[in-house]
């Protein structure tokens, strides 16, 4: 379907940036991207960018337009455009080209995860997380925001289940929903067994706090931000998926 599309790496990267910026704005609040060129520089304006602007080359925008990936209209002094449905689909195609889901995350967070090792030790947790990660790059991701949170919640529950079964903390931690208490018990048990120094114990305390905050993010994602009264956007889903993977990996390595 996309075999005939020829883009330079910078043009592919620009499309990825545009799609993710568009997804960072609620659909009812979306607006067109604006390309502005001055004597000093050229840039794109859009509320979905973290800094509201993104440096870009006009020729790359025109190329994306010729390929039907963005729809361009010309103003008197600016260029206005939107990502087309074809552009969203090609974005998904680009992400799939990066390989297996764990490889895509490695590329995004600098090869931070050891995929094969994690997959073998925490197979159920990985399967749940893998489903959430795949949804993250789909063209209809907005319909799956809550499901992504739910799958990440199941992933951390299965992860904690493996830890409790392996390290056997002394109290009863059979309730799978008590993920924070279960991981706290395991970390405290292993810290006492290892006779860790002050620095290592401080790190384990911080890691537990990281785990707690990740669980809070997951709950917010699953309930679509209703408690906080804040809408969920794509960046929230990306953060939940990535942080779920990283915190599980770090706890596993710390143990």
pLDDT-derived band of residue 112, with 50, 70 and 90 as boundaries? very low
Burial of 116 per CB tally in 10 Å (0-12, 13-18, 19+): exposed
Distance, CA of 32 to CA of 213 (rounded, Å): 34
Give the pLDDT confidence score for residue 83 in this predicted structure: 96
Average pLDDT, the chain: 85
Q: What are residue 219's phi and psi, to 5 degrees?
A: -65, -40
- The candidate with the shortest Cα–Cα distance to 16, out of 97, 75, 132, is 97
Dump pLDDT digits (tens) for 42-82.
999 999 987 788 889 999 999 999 999 999 998 877 899 99
The tally of CA atoms less than 13 A away on the side-chain side of residue 157 is: 14
Q: What are residue 8's phi and psi, to 5 degrees?
A: -75, 160
Q: Which H/E stretch holds residue 80?
A: strand 79-83
Give the pLDDT confidence score for residue 175 in this predicted structure: 87
For residue 48, how far is the Cα from the chain centroid?
15
Joined together, the tokens standing for residue 149 give: 């949170």
More confident residue, 175 or 201: 175
What pTM was estimated for this model as a whole?
Answer: 0.69
Dump pLDDT digits (tens) for 205-251.
888 999 999 999 999 999 987 776 778 899 999 999 989 988 998 88
- Backbone dihedral region for residue 241 (phi beyond 0: left; psi -120 to 50: alpha; all else: beta): alpha
């Amino acid at each position: 379907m996309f075999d005939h599309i020829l883009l330079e790496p910078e043009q592919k990267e620009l499309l990825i940036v545009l799609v993710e910026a568009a997804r960072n704005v609620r659909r009812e609040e979306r607006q067109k991207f604006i390309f502005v060129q001055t004597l000093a520089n050229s840039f794109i304006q859009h509320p979905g960018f973290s800094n509201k602007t993104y440096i870009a080359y006009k020729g790359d925008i025109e190329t994306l337009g010729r390929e039907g990936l963005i729809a361009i209209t010309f103003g008197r002094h600016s260029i206005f455009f939107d990502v087309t449905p074809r552009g969203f689909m090609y974005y998904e195609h680009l992400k799939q080209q990066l390989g297996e889901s764990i490889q895509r995350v490695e590329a995004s967070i600098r090869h931070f995860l050891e995929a094969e090792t994690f997959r073998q030790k925490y197979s159920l947790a990985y399967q749940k997380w893998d489903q959430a990660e795949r949804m993250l790059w789909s063209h209809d991701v907005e319909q799956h925001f809550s499901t992504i949170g739910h799958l990440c919640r199941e992933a951390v529950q299965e992860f904690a289940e493996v830890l409790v079964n392996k390290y056997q903390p002394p109290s009863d931690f059979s309730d799978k929903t008590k993920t924070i208490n279960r991981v706290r018990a395991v970390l405290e048990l292993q810290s006492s067994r290892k006779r860790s120094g002050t620095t290592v114990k401080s790190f384990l305390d911080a890691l537990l706090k990281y785990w707690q905050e990740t669980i809070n993010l997951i709950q917010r994602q699953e309930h679509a931000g209703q408690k906080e009264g804040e809408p969920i956007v794509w960046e929230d889903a990306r953060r939940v998926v990535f942080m779920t993977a990283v915190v599980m990996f770090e706890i596993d390595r710390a143990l």
